[in-house]
Structures are given as C-alpha cells and as structure tokens.
C-alpha cells in the first residue's frame, strides 16, 4: 500500500522513475577526482537535485576545490538549470593551520594541492558548460574580495581549517537563499572546522537543524526548523 501511495504522490508531482534515479554514470568517473569517496559524491548529487526539485534560486559555490570531484558532481545535478558555479581554491594547498585546529593538523600545512586543469577536466566529464562556471584561483582572503554571486542555492565548504571555514561562512552565508543548503565537508574530521561552525552560529544566534552523512560531512537547510515532513523516510532530504 505504501508503495502505491508513493507512486501516486510522484505522479501528482510529475515525477518519474528516471527522475528519481540515484545518480548519473558520470559520478563514477569523478570518484578519482575526489578524496571523499563515491558514497559522499552520491549524497552531494542528491543534495543538488533536492535544490532543483524545490526550485531554490541561486548559484552553487564551493570553497576548497582541490581536483574538482565534488564540484563536478554537484554541477552534474545542476545541468540545464541556468545556475552558475563558482569555485574557490588556492591551488597551492591548504594554508598553515592555527592552534585552534589542533596538534594533528600541523603536519598538513600545504597539503592537498589541487590542479586547475584537473578541475576543468572534471567539469568536462560532468558536461557542464565552460561559460557557466567561474574559477577563482588564489587565497580566500584575496578572492573573496572579487565580485561574488548575488544569491547562492548551495554552499559547499571543504576548507579544513578554522580561519578558512569561518571566512567562507561569513562571506557567503547571508547570500544563501532561504531553503538553500550549506555543506561542511570537514565537520567530523577537523576540530577547527567544527569550532568555526559553533562560533559562527553563536555569533549569528542561529540554531540550524544539522544533518550528518559519512564520517565527516554535515549540512543544514537554511530556515528549516524540523524534519516532520520526512517522517518515515531514511534520507534527509530523500
């Protein structure tokens, strides 16, 4: 009976089985451009499709691109929507961590140097038009002063350290549309990322409904205060 009701609801929404498939084949090809793993990429794709399904306005911003696997995966979900993609990365590795990032972080200064051409190749795999994405190469403290997107529907922050994550949140959060999604890639892995999140929401007097997936990722939907509409469903959003 539940299955029949689910199909009826989908029919009323104009959805088909094809609309609800997990992900396109390109994502398997993008796995080698990401350190996150295929299941994380699949979830990022579903979050992008959720933005499209709910018709949330605004572009996609990623802070911390490395070789472009996550960026291209989310871009896959936004094809033919008219949304632009803004990609920010130093392409010189991560900056030096601060004390708040923890002792373990100190050994990773300058790690994870991404390749600009690798990112472009990943976006070609995603079949995302060259004219619809912008790469801002350089340190956040410099590139965030360049013209920014007016409105953001999905903000993916993979910036590791406290200072970088806090700067990204302060720069882009007010541009995220109501109903837009903010993803913190390093919430469960790096202490600095987590402390930046706690300090940001404390300073802004925010109480986001935080969701988790994988060992480290966290996300929230701006303005969502409960998950009652998802009662009986495993994935949030489905």
Residue with tokens 């350190």: 35
Q: Domain total for the chain?
A: 1
Neighbours of 230 (CB within 10 A): 12
Q: What's the CATH number where 208 sits? A: 3.40.50.150
Q: Confirm whether 217 is domain-assigned.
A: yes
Distance CA 157, CA 202 (A): 19
Which among 145, 163, 140, 165 has a CA at the least distance from the CA of 155? 165
Q: Concatenated DSSP letters for 136-162?
A: EES-HHHHTTS---S-EEEEEE---SH
**Mean pLDDT across the stretch 44-69?**
97
Distance CA 48, CA 46 (A): 5
Q: Confirm whether 13 is domain-assigned.
A: no
- Looking at residue 98, the DSSP 8-state letter turns out to be P
Q: Which one has a higher pLDDT value, 125 or 15?
A: 125
**Per-residue pLDDT tens for 192-204?**
999 999 999 999 9
**Mean pLDDT across the stretch 148-173?**
98
**Mean pLDDT across the stretch 167-182?**
98
Q: Confirm whether 18 is domain-assigned.
A: no
**Per-residue pLDDT tens for 69-91?**
999 999 999 999 999 999 999 99
Contacts of 16 (CB under 8 A, 6+ apart): 10
Query: 188 near 217, Cβ under 8 Å?
Result: yes
Assigned token pair, 122 = 């990943």
10: pLDDT strictly greater than 70: no
Which among 201, 138, 144, 186 has a CA at the least distance from the CA of 167? 144
21: pLDDT strictly greater than 60: no
Position 50 confidence tier, pLDDT thresholds 50, 70, 90: very high
pTM: 0.89
Domain with 87, as residue range(s), is 24-230
Q: Confirm whether 190 is domain-assigned.
A: yes
Residue with tokens 């619809």: 132
**Per-residue pLDDT tens for 93-148?**
999 999 999 999 999 998 999 999 999 999 999 999 999 999 999 999 999 999 99
**Mean pLDDT across the stretch 45-64?**
97
Q: Confirm whether 98 is domain-assigned.
A: yes
**Mean pLDDT across the stretch 34-52?**
95
- Mean pLDDT score of the chain: 90
Q: What is the pLDDT of residue 130?
A: 96
Q: What is the pLDDT of residue 22?
A: 61
Contacts of 111 (CB under 8 A, 6+ apart): 93, 94
211: pLDDT strictly greater than 90: yes
Strands (E), the chain: 59-63, 85-89, 133-137, 152-157, 176-184, 211-213, 217-221
Q: What is the pLDDT of residue 6?
A: 41
173: pLDDT strictly greater than 90: yes
Q: Confirm whether 184 is domain-assigned.
A: yes
């Amino acid at each position: 009976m539940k299955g029949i009701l689910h199909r009826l609801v989908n029919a009323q929404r104009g959805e088909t089985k094809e609309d609800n498939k997990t992900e396109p084949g390109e994502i398997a090809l993008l796995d080698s451009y990401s350190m996150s793993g295929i299941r994380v990429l699949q979830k990022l794709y579903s979050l992008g499709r959720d933005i499209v399904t709910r018709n949330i306005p605004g572009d996609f911003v990623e802070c911390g691109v490395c070789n472009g696997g996550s960026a291209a995966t989310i871009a896959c979900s936004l094809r033919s929507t008219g949304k632009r993609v803004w990609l920010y990365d130093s392409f010189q590795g991560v900056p030096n961590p601060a004390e708040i990032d923890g002792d373990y972080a100190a050994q990773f200064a300058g790690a994870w140097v991404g390749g600009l051409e690798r990112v472009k190749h990943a976006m070609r795999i995603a079949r995302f038009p060259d004219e619809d994405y912008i790469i801002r190469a350089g340190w956040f403290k410099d590139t965030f002063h360049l013209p920014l997107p007016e409105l953001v529907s999905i903000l993916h922050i993979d910036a590791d350290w406290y200072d970088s994550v806090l700067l990204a949140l302060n720069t882009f959060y007010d541009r995220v549309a109501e109903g837009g999604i903010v993803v913190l890639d390093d919430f469960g892995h790096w202490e600095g990322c987590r402390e930046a999140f706690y300090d940001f929401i404390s300073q802004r007097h925010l109480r986001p409904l935080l969701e988790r997936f994988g060992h480290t990722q966290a996300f929230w939907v701006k303005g969502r205060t409960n998950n009652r509409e998802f009662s009986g469903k495993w994935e949030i959003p489905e």
